[in-house]
A = this chain, B = another copy of it.
Amino acid sequence: MSNSSDFQRPDGRAWDQLRPIHLQQPFTKAPAGSVLAKFGDTQLICTVSIDEGVPKFLMGSNQGWLTAEYRMLPASTIPRQQREFAKLSGRTQEIQRLIGRSLRAALDMTAIANYTFTVDIDVLQADGGTRTGGITGGFIALKAACDRLMAEGKIERSPIRNAVAAVSVGLIDGKPILDLNYQEDLAVSVDMNVVMDSTGKLVEVQGTGESDTFSRSQLDQMLDVADKGIKELLALSC
């Protein structure tokens, strides 16, 4: 493919190039899995804690559960933003629901019967892509947590069905751009988050035309470039 746009990315990346990725694992000791994940200037603490017991709606079902929480530390942005308190914003709720659904798609819940996994994504520094980074980094911490649970003999087989990862892609001047940073996020007319697994299947597709609509063919182009990026991310986490 030729360069898809005259748009010059602020950090000089090619239009289908991921940001540099850095993973520090384990990052802290208390949780079963923990990783400090950096995607360019976006930095996330991803932890997975495991508790015995399941929510009421699963009692007696012989299944486990996974739930996710997402927060931005107040100093993760300029200017500092207030902590969410008393009620979560719609944005935060959407993000933590998306992360939860995506990571549940990676798990065989019968293999973690009677355990609840809680994934915490805390944003240290926000420069775009925190929700997709939360899925990608969250999966890495999840895998470590599953490994620990097996090593401790608490479960018999790995509950991981397939690896999952996620990336954002946007349209600028009608052309797809991979892995948007904050500055690019403000510039796109269409914003899409794509979650895929290691078999190449889609887990979640969310495309939003806030300032413009998009055609079926543009949707296809965005999915193509997302597919490329996710394959690179998955290579990293395996």
Overall SS of chain A's interface: mixed
The answer on a CB contact under 8 Å between A97 and B101 is no
Copies of the protein in its oligomer: 6
Q: B residues within 8 A CB of A207?
A: 202, 204-206
CB-nearest residue of chain B relative to A30? B78
Given the known interface contacts A74-B118, A209-B203, A215-B202, the answer about A51 and B30 at a Cβ–Cβ threshold of 8 Å is no
Chain B nearest CB: distance from A44 CB in Å? 12
Q: B residues within 8 A CB of A223?
A: 216, 219
- Most chain-B CB neighbours within 10 Å: which of A49, A75, A101? A75
Of the listed stretches A10-18, A120-128, A147-155, chain B binds A120-128
A-B pairs with the 5 shortest C-beta distances? A201-B213, A49-B80, A90-B93, A47-B75, A31-B75
